Structure 1
Amino acid sequence: MSYQESFINFLKYEKRYSPHTVTAYENDLDQFVEFITKMVGDFIAQNVDAKLVRSWVVSLMEKDISPRSVARKVTSVMSFYNYLMKEQVVVNNPCVNIPLPKVRKKLPNFVEESNLAHLLDDGMFSNDFKGIRDKFIVSLLYGTGIRLAELRGLKERDFNTKEYLIRVLGKRQKERIIPYPREINTLLQEYVEARNKLIGFKTEFLLVTEKGTQVYEKLVYRVVKSNLEKVTSLEKKSPHVLRHTYATHLLNKGADLNAVKELLGHSNLAATQVYTHTTFEKLHESYKQAHPRGGKND
């Protein structure tokens, strides 16, 4: 087994990364190995130095790969070498101190509160199984901030309808409990009744297609995109945008940053702090409108 294969197995079985994340690491590492092989004729992990890594970074930039993607690829290779150091295969990590192109921080897109209220409260979903399910999907994503994979994995037993709490299995199989809006109970009941009437049997997963199979990623994307198109002109209309919206609206209403971190299932506070940029803009705008001298000397 090669060092690359050992590393990928380490990510899969010890770190328990998601299949999507493991594939990204694998692709980045394959590209790196291919580049080094072209440069020096063979890939020997111990012989790679900082100069070779810098050459790879330059080659990526010359292909007009975005700074964000370049940074991610270098991080993948750095993780690989950290693993090799831990296994005592190499002494140094050649990626340390490699200058990277500056990544411009993108503020997360979010949907205005009034727009989502219009979508969810003003009869914009049909009363058939599809409409009931789709409204439930959008309401769950916005009402809990859960990830797409977490949504797909939900089961009926994950809902504590008396306490308005939902149990979610997140990244690396970490469990968390999230409160949800009271109207979710009504939507849950309506959805389960419509589902059971349509397919006539109990399913393992809560959210299913009209054939009774677990909802797939593209279907959820399609549901979110088609419904957000009714109320927003945002370029990106994805399940993750509803997660961003959930976090932004909580912070705009004064929620504690650490509490939002726990609700989102972030492993560190830095991942949550990106939303404070958005909320600060909102606060600044409110100040300018409300304070007697707020609009002066901008």
Structure 2
Amino acid sequence: MHETSASVLPETLLQPLNRFDDYMRNEKGLSAHTRQNYRQQLVHMAEYLAERGLKSWQQVDASWVRQLAAQGMREGMKASSVGTRLSSLRSFFDFLILRGELPANPAKGVSAPKKKRPLPKNLDVDEVAQLLEVNEDDPLAVRDRAMMELMYGAGLRLAEMVSLNLADLSFDQGELRVVGKGDKERKVPFTGLAAEWIRRWIPFRAQWVLADEPALFISKRGCRISHRNVQKRMAEWGIKQSVSSHISPHKLRHSFATHILESSHDLRAVQELLGHENISTTQIYTHLDFQHLANVYDQAHPRAKKKRES
């Protein structure tokens, strides 16, 4: 017996679901729990389609499948749950193809929405100061502080910092030549403590560097430092300096963006500094909420300012 609350469904939608359930039980040997999950998803989608006038699964094309996925998101489903819903639909359509009831699978080309990756929590200003209180004369300590000062002072990506060459620095101009994503080049200002600690690092670099190695930051072996080594060293400094949260290169970049934005409220400038192609990326990256944008707009735009009462 097929348990379902879908007695209102047209038989042309319901009967294929019943046959699919039998197939999963008798031929695939799936557990009752798995079959129930599949059926709940499929019945829910069938009810959505029936409410919109569809009477058979043969009427479902890719646009309908995309609507089903979008409906799941509107219902508050997680991206992973929408992915499960689409997976059950693909399996069901494969069954119909196997039985000669469908020529092609309309769900094959429809991707599940991407899971949102949570952005790392930025460090507050005091935590950054605590991390960067490295005053040792050991060459590795000087190198590491220079890297951390530069990462926080210029908001570089890890790959951008690792790929820096000595020739990319202009102390006179107070700027770096940075090659970012898509080999796009940009100029980034670096002054203050970042420049000071790079100056302190350069003599130590000269003691280790291999001939013809152009890299600004090198390992003790004299060659360009690796991404993994940078990540490892920064995490270790976080522990050594008793910073409560895990330290990573990306967290320093994120903190740079957040602190600059909090002080300047200049989203476009932060976009340029970070090397983001689209300003929407910067907006998400810096946790800038819409209300803040609305307030800035209301205060700054001549057409948005409320007329003073006469």
TM-score, normalization: structure 1? Answer: 0.58
Q: Is the 8 A contact 1:154 1:206 kept in 2?
A: yes
Measure the CA separation in 2 of the matches of 1:94 and 1:149: 36
Name the % identity: 32
Match of 1:196 in 2: 206
Say whether 1:153 aligns with 2:163.
yes
Residue 287 of structure 2 aligns to a residue whose secondary structure is helix
Match of 2:39 in 1: none
TM-superposed CA distance for 1:233, in Å, is 2.0
Measure the CA separation in 2 of the matches of 1:225 and 1:155: 24
Instruction: Choose from 233, 254, 262 the match for 2:244.
Output: 233
Which amino acid letter does the alignment assign opposite residue 215 of structure 1?
I
User: How many pairs align?
Assistant: 200
Q: Is the 8 A contact 1:145 1:247 kept in 2?
A: yes
Match of 1:138 in 2: 148
TM-superposed CA distance for 1:109, in Å, is 1.2
Q: Is the 8 A contact 1:164 1:182 kept in 2?
A: no
Match of 2:228 in 1: 218
Match of 1:181 in 2: 191
Q: Which is greater in Rg?
A: 2
Q: Pairwise mapping of residues 1-298 of structure 1 onto structure 2 (< 5 A)?
A: 50=62, 67=79, 95=109, 100=113, 103=115, 106-120=118-132, 122=133, 124-199=134-209, 201=211, 203-229=213-239, 230-234=241-245, 236-277=246-287
- Greater relative contact order (Cα < 8 A, sep 6+): 1
Measure the CA separation in 2 of the matches of 1:225 and 1:208: 18
**Deviations 1:5-38 (CA, angstroms, capped at 9, x unpaired):** xxxxxxxxxxxxxxxxxxxxxxxxxxxxxxxxxx
Which amino acid letter does the alignment assign opposite residue 244 of structure 2?
S
TM-superposed CA distance for 1:99, in Å, is 6.0
TM-superposed CA distance for 1:93, in Å, is 11
Which amino acid letter does the alignment assign opposite residue 221 of structure 2?
K
Q: Is the 8 A contact 2:152 2:252 kept in 1?
A: yes
Measure the CA separation in 2 of the matches of 1:172 and 1:105: 22
TM-superposed CA distance for 1:185, in Å, is 2.5
Residue 253 of structure 1 aligns to a residue whose secondary structure is helix
Q: Is the 8 A contact 1:108 1:274 kept in 2?
A: no
Q: Is the 8 A contact 2:235 2:248 kept in 1?
A: yes
Q: CA RMSD in A?
A: 3.5
Large movers: runs of 4+ above 6 Å: 279-282
Which amino acid letter does the alignment assign opposite residue 195 of structure 1?
R
Measure the CA separation in 2 of the matches of 1:199 and 1:276: 37
Which amino acid letter does the alignment assign opposite residue 247 of structure 1?
A
Gaps of 5+ in 2: 1-60, 70-77, 87-105, 293-310
Residue 172 of structure 1 aligns to a residue whose secondary structure is helix
Residue 168 of structure 1 aligns to a residue whose secondary structure is strand
Measure the CA separation in 1 of the matches of 2:263 and 2:242: 22
TM-score, normalization: structure 2? Answer: 0.56
**Deviations 1:238-292 (CA, angstroms, capped at 9, x unpaired):** 111111000000011124101101111111011100245368899xxxxxxxxxx
